[in-house]
Amino acid sequence: MIGVGFCAVLVAFYVSFYYNVIIGWALYFLVASAAPTLPWVHCNNTWNTEWCWESTLLGPAPGLNYSTNTSLGWSTTKLPHSPASEYFHRAVLEMQWSNGLHEMGYPKWQLVLCLLLVYSMLYLSLFKGVKSSGKVVWVTATLPYVVLTILLVRGLMLPGALTGISYYLKPELSRLSDTQCVNMLLKVWVDAAVQIFYSVGAGFGVHLSYASYNTFHNNCFR
């Protein structure tokens, strides 16, 4: 059983590399959202290209035919990009300065600072074990519902809200049994299974850690 414990620690250690980066990006966006004008809603920034297209503006996107709105044969790199996409790839990640994994470049200090803050918050939440994590749970278990409620109310007040809700509540169940594209069908089920394992925390050792604080004969079903 010692090996199971070590494996659980290693799994959490390696997964943290992936998830903490995403949380760092979210923290970066949170700070950027404090600006009077959100930088990812328009194409007037220094990092935007000529292929940036605001969907709220009238007129066809760059590289599209005026009458049929079909592509004129541009390559994928010249297709119209949304301001949000260019902000993430060109302003946050600055991928325009790299030609691939062989050209990593230097770390961006803003992202490094965000990642450092994320690891610091994790340490402060876990350094005393269940004593500190138990207090943090009061915030992490309730705050998401408060924020989601606020976003729900705000979203319902925006134009086209009912269309978005209808699209969300009417899934295309036919995709789960579409045999015309076997690879896509397999990917849907694999992605669903992966998300389920992440959601229940199977193999991460979280449930084992919390269970170790119970007495041996504790009634887990009560």
Q: pLDDT by residue (tens digit) across 103-153?
A: 777 888 999 999 999 999 988 888 877 777 778 888 888 888 999 999 889
Whole-angstrom distance, CA of residue 121 vs CA of residue 20: 11
* Res 181 pLDDT > 70: no
Cα torsion angle, 204, 210, 215, 219, sign: negative
Q: Give the C-alpha distances (Å, rounded to integers) separating 136 from 12, 30, 48, 86, 117.
A: 18, 20, 40, 35, 16
Note the pLDDT tens digit of each residue in 81-101. 889 999 999 999 988 888 877
* Res 67 pLDDT > 50: no
98 carries a ligand binding annotation = no
Phi, psi of 64 (to 5 degrees): -115, 150
* Res 183 pLDDT > 90: no
Contact 62, 81 (CB under 8 A): no
Question: Is the pTM above the cut of 0.95?
Answer: no
